[in-house]
Amino acid sequence: MSKSRSTPQTAATVPATPAAKAPARKRAAARSATSEEALAPNRQANILQAAERLFATRGFHGVSIRDIADEAGVPLALVGYYYGPKLSLYHAIFRAHAGYIDVRLQSLAQAQQAAPPGQLLDEIVKAFVLPVLEVARQPAGHHFLRLLSRGMNDHLEEDEPIIRELFDPLAHAFIDAIAAALPQATRSQAAWCYQFALGALLHHVNDQRIERLSYGQNQPGDEAAAGPLLVRFIAQGMRGACEGAVH
């Protein structure tokens, strides 16, 4: 009569104990946390970009937090987690473009320092126009400029604080420069010139009718053709408006 022999369990067949599983769970959790941390900046940026596109197209009151979450592809609660209420998110878009203001101020300072004799106004106007046209060439920049135009034209109470904070100092710098370049004009006249120039610039970067109005000869965004013409238009307009100005 043969005796049955029991086969010893190998390490491969021994069931893992809870204690043995714990390190594996910790490693998986760590990998998950690391993945979430890597995604966080992308999600935060996606929210800001989605909000910018929607606000530029529909205006502040035409967009809900849910709209932004859907556009960004994130959970609804994540919008508030990163940016708080809708108004805070709206203002965060403008603050994210603070570099745009710095570039324009740097261009103005360079123009004032390096302008050839008799060309100070022309160089100031180039500093006013050309950095904006460069931003307009970029898809994200186009959305921002459209949003900025809304903010300056709609006169909503939601826009006023951020316009005062970020863009009034930029405006004052250009107005002072225009007044210095046109000594025959008062500062109040220079302020009018700035506003007229701003209207021409923002209309140009947002307008899409030029192709139709020119019977197809001009294309929106053709800054090689439009940029120098716009600079001359603004500079000569300021000179003509302030020629023989009475103080």
In the chain, CATH 1.10.10.60 covers: 31-95
Grade residue 229 by pLDDT with cuts at 50, 70 and 90: very high
Is the model's pLDDT at 40 over the cut of 90? no
Share of the chain above pLDDT 90, in %: 75
CATH class assigned to 31-95: mainly alpha
Grade residue 24 by pLDDT with cuts at 50, 70 and 90: low
Fold of 98-242: Tetracycline Repressor; domain 2 (1.10.357)
In the chain, CATH 1.10.357.10 covers: 98-242
Give residue-wise pLDDT tens across range 140-199: 898 999 999 999 988 889 999 999 999 999 999 999 999 999 999 999 999 999 999 999
Q: Tokens representing 174?
A: 């250009």
Is the model's pLDDT at 29 over the cut of 80? no
